[in-house]
Amino acid sequence: MARFFSLERVAALAVLAIACWQLLTPPSLGLADNGDFARQMIYFNLTHTPSDWGDRYFSYFNRQYTIDLAEAKKYAARDNVSSEFLFVAAAAALYRPWSGTSFDLLALGALQLIVFVLAIYFLLSATKPFAGPLRATGIILGVFVFTDIAYIAYFNSFYTESAAYIFLLITAGCAYHAMTSSEYRTPWTAAYFLSATAFLMARYQNLVLLPVFLFFGWLLVRRQADYKYFLLYLVSALLACYGGYQFYISSPSNAGEVVLYNSVFDGILLDSPNPREDLQALGLDPDLAKFVGVTAFQPESPRYNRDFLEKFVATVSLGRVARFYVQRPGRLMAALNRTVSLTSHIRPQLGNYEKTVGLPRGTQSRSWAMWSSFRAAVGPGSIWLVLMVCVVHLGLLARMWFRQNDKTGRLNLEWCALMAPMALAQLLLISIFNGVSELDRHAFLFNLFLDFMLVAVGAQLLALLTMRSPATRPAKEAVA
């Protein structure tokens, strides 16, 4: 009995219980649609059951969807690809025999929750070689933080953040198995690249992290000093790059237009001391300053003017936007500060309850939101505090790395260290290219990596405080 109730099983069961309580027991919690659901629903001929716009979008979590191809085509085209498709397809296939004309979103939520819990158990089992007080503390803190409604609510939705969350856990589990397994190192390394590719293909903004996963893959094979592992790395890395490239070019043209438009009118110009001057620097008409703060989806947006859009796309590019900030480092720091400040509230501003519950529009649950409420209250609210967290996190890991002689132990520490550059890469990306609209969702990965670092730092500090002497701590242990 004691063996059954291992730390890994208890943690996985705790996650299952907390998540089921939030997502599957009445009143079920989820996320309202901001208009993005249609990108997944169109592949399964699904559309909203409510006809009222206010009931469909932003305010209420809607469980029931109707199968109606003609209606579904009004809201999206089949041109948006994501690895989230795998979960939606599986849920639709399992649910359709029970109801041929409708779909209950809880079917998708339950499926994603099961895979999520299995992924957590998979990851924790892979980190058993690093068992110790530090790992145990990190697991306990992690269960509390990463089951917050800010993260869990995505499972009861068609948003692609849930796929990114799940595949990131699977990728981490494969990485740890590749570190610690001697007999099955080759298949685990291949599985690492496969799951990393699925993670990258969850959302277009994830692609910026491809070099990080390639770098760690190289660390995995470099330690083996065997030519066959280099060939495995080369083939796997090329396939991951090709998959990422195909995913990138598959993005709808209007998605790029939206990103470009928002990066200028909802980003660069929003806090500009001289919007007309900035428009001139970008090669645009200074009179367009009247559209500052107008997002791409607002009815008054000039994006819907074909003449404007053609000139805008011909003049402005992602490279030009990036150069604008590179040439003005003060503006870049201001944009980073703005993003960190606006994303300290890690929950998207969308309703969590069904309309039938009877609560006001847009009501958000507070039942398991302790961590997200704490983050909203205390920050970090500036880029300097984020950098401080990164420095402390990396400093504590470096302290352990230099005491470590075991290759596997160092790989563990190096994997944990990569959370810092991945968080900063996401922060830089969304600060430059996303403007401020929907930053709470665009910052999902940034907040996830930042919270990992906060958990890791907290676990290490608690472990240091509770142990009689730092010398008694196993050198190869780290938060995994």
Q: What whole-number distance in Å separates Cα of residue 355 and Cα of residue 365?
A: 13
Q: What whole-number distance in Å separates Cα of residue 146 and Cα of residue 449?
A: 11
Q: What is the arithmetic mean of pLDDT over 7-17?
A: 96
Residue 446: CB atoms within 10 Å: 26
Q: What is the arithmetic mean of pLDDT over 293-299?
A: 91
Confidence class of residue 472 from pLDDT cuts 50, 70 and 90? Answer: very low
Q: Which residues contact 4 (CB under 8 A, 6 or more apart)?
A: none
Q: What whole-number distance in Å separates Cα of residue 49 and Cα of residue 27?
A: 19
Cα angle for residues 317, 321, 322 (degrees, 5° grid): 115
Helix (H, G, I), strand (E, B) or coil at 66: strand
Cα angle for residues 212, 215, 217 (degrees, 5° grid): 110
CA distances from 361 to 32, 295, 349 (A): 10, 23, 11
Sequence ranges of the domains in the chain: 7-251+365-472, 253-327
CA proximity to 41, closest of 105, 113, 112: 105
Q: What is the pLDDT of residues 421-470, one digit of tens each?
A: 999 999 999 999 988 888 889 999 999 999 999 999 999 988 877 765 44
Q: What whole-number distance in Å separates Cα of residue 468 and Cα of residue 352?
A: 45
Instruction: Identify any residues that bridge with 57 across adjacent strands, giving them in sequence order.
Output: 33
* AA letter at 426: Q
CA distances from 290 to 116, 285, 312, 331 (A): 46, 11, 15, 21
Contact 127, 480 (CB under 8 A): yes
Which of 146-155, 229-238, 410-419 is the least confident region? 229-238
The pLDDT of residue 372: 96
Percent of the chain at pLDDT above 70?
95
CA proximity to 56, closest of 414, 355, 444: 355
Average pLDDT for the chain? 92
Instruction: Identify any residues that bridge with 67 across adjacent strands, giving them in sequence order.
Output: 46
Q: What whole-number distance in Å separates Cα of residue 74 and Cα of residue 322?
A: 35
Helix (H, G, I), strand (E, B) or coil at 48: strand
Rounded to the nearest 10°, the torsion over CA 465, 467, 469, 471 is -110
The pLDDT of residue 100: 75
The pLDDT of residue 224: 67
